[in-house]
Structure 1
């Protein structure tokens, strides 16, 4: 096992119930699809975490997938029956940013023993892990959360980086033509946060799943503090996760990301 990811081939079938399973499947084009998939079939005793209902607070105005507050996340962890020290496995459809979003929220909450199943649900099913279409019976827990605030930053923290008050490298996870401001299919303003570098998270896909890529080393070195962002805070999470898998030590996530930044501040275009 790596720091973040585990391959299906490294999981033992007879150990299935030694893990707490979280299903994070989602579709950004069809927000109901993930829950429908879960209801149809999921790893037995898994709980479902919805990107927009559980892993974002869509009532906030801090980007397109705003960060839930600590009380909301604590309630999610507790109603999911989580224990701080238990072994937790998260899956999505593979090669997607949703399991890493859930994984990051658990890192923020101080959970130590959490892995993302690299190849996703279908590979687990094909490997013979028991599945179900029944809702899991969950015993709620009561947690003392050890919040890891250094893993998270907001718009003001990023402004301090842009102004040189804090020495960190901003790393934009979007496609290169969006970073350069040549196109912008979603947000009102095209470009990137001033001073940011670019590494398209799609480069992390290998054979349909997320994996380390040595080309990252050509963009950011392991000894520099890094703050990752994307458009809405979702696709930055696989980049964050792979950086941690590759032993980058000082990484944080700007969950508001570009869609939050442009509500207050100027952008750059070009390289």
Structure 2
């Protein structure tokens, strides 16, 4: 299970750090920043080069294939015995995206540095440049229950089970749509803006986020989505942390749904 942890709570031994800093408006920023300085020993995962398959058409940031994820894990030298800490710039969705894909790939011991890199650099050794790691030959056992497809969403609607839209309320209602060609939301979806998870100290702890889900049943299957499967990742993990264990992320999300399906608005 994922745990969003303060810097003092993170594992101390046999730790592998993954830097996922990114800027959706400047895709080169995160990697350039990583080269300047990062946690000692950290590898870098790029949202669009490593955590997405940009050759596919299922939305703006389709999930990588199992073959691509296996190659990434092996090239990164990761094994199931590692304690993995993922971080981004803080109050961002990129570490959560990586962590959710690691869950999908069968990893169990994953932490997100909820305060982001700014706090880590105050307490951990920092270096620049590129980190070399030996490859691994781990064979992954994927947990498909963490990711949902468009067909899963259609079944969710027919069975009247919850869909949660993690975008802003204006985008959910169809009042303002700055990115996608069609405004609105997937039919029957409710709205919980993922940005409610942000605090001055980083993403909410489990106790803090519990209040966002007080009207949901832990016995019901839930599917989350956003625009492209990125910003819904922290909301998905917050639900899992709060024992909504039958929660999946629609990896194609709204940008995939609108290719072939109708939407609703709440103007």
TM-score (norm 1): 0.94
Question: Given the alignment, which residue of 239, 244, 255 partners 2:240?
Answer: 244
Q: 1:125: which partner in 2?
A: 121
Match of 2:21 in 1: 25
CA deviations 1:72-99 (Å, max 9, x no partner) are 0000000000001210000000110000
**What stretches of structure 1 move > 3 A for 4+ residues in a row?**
none
Q: Measure, in 2, the Cα distance between the counterparts of 1:230 and 1:9.
A: 31
Structure 1 residues 106, 97: closer, same or farther in 2, change over 3 A? same
1:3, CA displacement in angstroms? 4.1
User: Cα deviations across residues 122-178 of structure 1 (Å, max 9, x unaligned)?
Assistant: 101112x011113112100011211001111111111122233xx531100000111
Q: State the SS of the aligned residue for 1:22.
A: strand
Cα distance, 1:194 vs structure 2: 0.3
Match of 2:141 in 1: 146
Q: Does 1:93 align with 2:89?
A: yes
Question: Could you tell me which residue of structure 1 aligns to residue 165 of structure 2?
Answer: 172
CA shift at 1:4, angstroms? 1.8
Q: Is the 8 A contact 1:197 1:219 kept in 2?
A: no
Q: Distance in 2 between matches of 1:9 and 1:208?
A: 13
Question: Distance between the aligned counterparts of 1:56 and 1:208, measured in 2?
Answer: 28
Output the CA distance in 2 between the equivalents of 1:103 and 1:198. Answer: 23
Structure 2 runs not aligned, ≥5 long: none
Please say if 1:73 is aligned against 2:32.
no
| Counterpart residue number, 2:175 | 182
How many aligned positions are there? 264
2:98 and 2:222 map into 1 onto residues whose CA distance is: 20
Distance in 1 between residues matched to 2:232 and 2:146, nearest whole Å:
13
Q: For the structure 1 residues 3 and 66, does the alpha-carbon distance in structure 2 shift closer, same or farther, using more than 3 Å as the test?
A: closer
Matched residue, 2:211: 215
1:268 shift after superposition: 0.5
Question: What is the CA–CA distance in structure 1 between the aligned matches of 2:73 and 2:148, rounded to whole Å?
Answer: 21
- 1:99-124 C-alpha deviation (Å, 9 max, x unpaired): 00000000000101011011011101
Report the aligned-residue RMSD. Answer: 1.5
State the partner residue of 1:4: 3
Residue 257 of structure 1: aligned partner: 253
Kept after mapping to 2: 8 A contact 1:81/1:139: yes
Residue 208 of structure 1 and its aligned partner are, at CA, apart by 4.7
> Which stretch of structure 1 is more off in the superposition, 258-267 or 237-246?
237-246
